[in-house]
Chain A
Amino acid sequence: MLKSRIIPCLDVKDGRVVKGVNFVNLRDAGDPVESAKAYDAAGADELCFLDITASHEDRDIIFDVVSRTAEQCFMPLTVGGGVRTVDDIRKLLLAGADKVSINTAAVNDRALVRAASEKFGAQCIVVAIDAKRTSESRDKWKIFTHGGRKETGIDAIEFAKEVTALGAGELLLTSMDRDGTGDGFDLKLTRAISDAVPVPVIASGGVGSLDHLVAGVIEGGASAVLAASIFHFGTYSISEAKQYMARAGVPVRIDP
């Protein structure tokens, strides 16, 4: 039976791990390769690096981080942040990423999603969607780009369907309203997107307790749940999260 995945996400800036709260107020929390090894040993199902390095000159640091991680961790690794071109994707895959996530560029250049999917296969193209509820309706969400700073006016559900049709193999869905709050996933959003597309959806944004992980799968319909702070600052271990989910009836991988 296919298991629901738990994915710790490491925000990486200039080669160091940080975690944004609502995408601002960054805190330094260590070496990404060491963190990756710790999560590998702890039984995380995948790892996600989000590169939030601001300056273009320092962006090559992530390739070194990815390649050192891939040499030591025998688990799937997704890398995103600042991916603009097919060549950016190629470089990350060659460094050792298994999947590459595209955010802003997928909005500005839909052809990139198709080109990347045709070139490298849908299995390694993740489109990251940052969505926020609209003021008009509780059941409408618009997408944001540039790490959540720029509003696009594009409907999240329509965009999800569109990029999936273009060849995205997975969606990483972050609720802007919930990110950094610890109030739990936006379950309505997660369910709406998950029901709208044929590919797996990773729920992200807002995890503050283990119940939130369970709800993301059962109520949100997510194939995987992503969290940062609760794991990164040791509130819960991966193993505690998995035991909890298993008791709540969510099938998870617990390998010795």
Chain B
Amino acid sequence: MKVAIIDYGSGNLRSASKAFERAAGELGLTAEINVTSRPEDVTAADRIVLPGVGAFADCQSGLNAVDGMWQALEQAVHADGKPFLGICVGMQLMAERGLEFGVTPGFGWLAGDVVAIKPDDPSLKIPHMGWNTLNPKRPHDVLDGIVTGDDGLHAYFVHSFHLQVERAEDLVAETRYGGDITAIVARDNMIGTQFHPEKSQTLGLHLIANFLRWTP
């Protein structure tokens, strides 16, 4: 199995690729984890991972700056239906628009916008940074075997914006931080996590393993 982790200059991907290697190894899967900025690798991949840190607009323009990458992702993910995992801003890019520093178009694979978190308690700190639990909104294979809820496992979040989906069925899990925050989205062959599975120890490695054996 070929897994392409898209490198477009947004942060370090070594820990992400190591986390995927570890998860694949624990499953006994022979997986070739390829950190790449070449559109042809996306075309050749069986599974695609889009990470992303920083601002929505920055990531969008970074991705667009890689010749042919945007189109290769559109084709592989949206048209060909390959299993896709977006992480943090990589997940937010699945939305129609990002509203951080002006209005920036995303892939539009999910109906909705990326908006600022507005906690109902103004003393809560922004970014929402640290370990939080997940509240599932509907079942999904990516959560198989992961204990959720208030007494469940924790995921590592660091963000000031989140994806507000228009269609309720696209929302798989939320987390709570002065209101409900989108934590996992999914539609067809696509999954997105606002938190960082590659930094989320037990929960993260389990979720990555679930993604690697997922059949949409």
Interface of A with B (CB < 8 Å)? 1-5, 40, 43, 45, 67, 70-76, 93-98, 119-124, 169-170, 198-201, 223-224, 253, 255-256
B184 interfacial contact with A, CB 8 Å: no
The 5 closest A-B pairs by CB, nearest first: A121-B54, A253-B131, A70-B15, A200-B125, A123-B158
In the assembled complex, which residues on chain B have CB atoms less than 8 Å from the CB atom of A201? 125
Of the residues A2, A3, A67, A224, contact of B14 by C-beta under 8 Å: A67
Most buried by A among B22, B55, B159, B200: B55
Residue on B nearest A41 in the bound complex, by CB:
B201
Docked Cα-Cα span, A1 to B54, in Å, equals: 24
A200 near B127 with CB under 8 A, answer yes
B198 neighbours in A (Cβ, 8 Å): 74
Measured in the bound complex, the distance between the Cα atoms of B19 and A94 in whole Å is 16
B residues in contact with A124, CB < 8 Å: 11, 53-54
Which residues from chain A contact B127 at a C-beta distance below 8 Å?
A: 122-123, 169-170, 199-200
A70 contacts B154, C-beta separation under 8 Å: no
In the complex, which residue of chain B has the Cβ closest to the Cβ of A199? Answer: B125
For residue B71, CB closer than 8 A to chain A, the reply is no
Contact yes or no, A2 B160, CB < 8 A = no
Known A-B contacts: A76-B156, A169-B158, A256-B153. Give 12 more (CB < 8 A). Answer: A1-B132, A4-B130, A71-B14, A72-B18, A74-B22, A75-B156, A75-B201, A96-B12, A170-B129, A200-B130, A253-B131, A253-B154
* Residue B26, interface by CB 8 Å: no
Residues of B within 8 Å of A71, CB to CB, are 14-15, 18
Q: A123 is contacted by which of B12, B133, B159, B202 (Cβ under 8 Å)? A: B159
Interface residues on B, range: 35 or more
Which one of A94, A98, A224 contacts B199 once the chains associate, using CB atoms below 8 Å? A98
Could you tell me the distance in whole angstroms from the C-beta of B127 to the nearest C-beta in chain A? Answer: 6
Q: 1/0 per position for B86-127, CB-CB distance to A under 8 A? A: 000000000000000000000000000000000000000111
Known contacts being A3-B154, A255-B154, is A120 close to B200, with CB within 8 Å? Answer: no
Answer whether residue B58 sits at the interface, using C-beta atoms and an 8 A cutoff: yes
Q: B128: CB under 8 A from chain A?
A: yes
A120: nearest chain-B partner, CB-CB: B54
**Please, how many angstroms separate the alpha-carbon atoms of A253 and B153 in the complex?**
8
A189 to chain B, nearest CB (A): 17
User: In the complex, what residues of B have CB within 8 A of residue A121's CB?
Assistant: 53-55, 58
Determine the distance from Cα of A72 to Cα of B15 in the docked complex, in whole angstroms: 8
Among B11, B22, B200: residue with most chain A CB under 10 A = B11
Bound-state CA distance A72–B129 (Å) is 22
Closest CB in chain B relative to A23 CB, distance in Å:
27
Partner of B53, one of A45, A120, A200: A120
Residues on B with C-beta less than 8 A from A122 are 127, 160
In the bound complex, residues from chain B placing their C-beta under 8 Å from that of A97 are 12
A79 to chain B, nearest CB (A): 11
The CA of A67 and the CA of B14, in the complex, are separated in Å by 8
Provide the bound-state CA to CA distance between A68 and B53, in Å: 21
Provide the residues of chain B in CB contact with A1, threshold 8 Å. 132-133, 150, 176
- Bound Cα distance from A176 to B190, whole angstroms: 49
| Most B-side CB within 10 Å, residue of A3, A75, A169, A199 | A75
Of residues 1 through 46 on chain B, the ones whose CB sits less than 8 Å from some CB of chain A are 11-12, 14-15, 18-19, 22
Cα A253 to Cα B132 with chains together (Å): 8
Q: Which of A4, A98, A224 has the most CB of B within 10 A?
A: A98
Kindly provide the distance from the CB of B50 to the nearest chain A CB, expressed in whole angstroms.
16
The residues of A that contact B131 with a CB separation of less than 8 Å are 2-3, 5, 45, 253
Known interface pairs A67-B14, A253-B154. Does A224 touch B130 (Cβ–Cβ under 8 Å)?
yes
Chain A proximity of B193: nearest CB distance (Å): 14
- Do A74 and B133 touch across chains, with their CB atoms under 8 A apart? no
A70 contacts B14, C-beta separation under 8 Å: yes
B163-216 contacts to A, CB under 8 A, are 176-177, 196, 198-205
- In the assembled complex, the Cα of A98 lies from the Cα of B15 at a distance in Å of 10
A1 to B154, CA, bound (A): 9
Q: Tell me the minimal C-beta distance from B19 to chain A in angstroms.
A: 5
Q: Which residues in B have their C-beta under 8 angstroms from that of A96?
A: 12, 14-15
CB distance from A91 to the nearest CB of B (A): 10
**Contact B12 A94, beta carbon cutoff 8 Å:** yes
Residue ID in chain A nearest B159 by CB atoms: A123
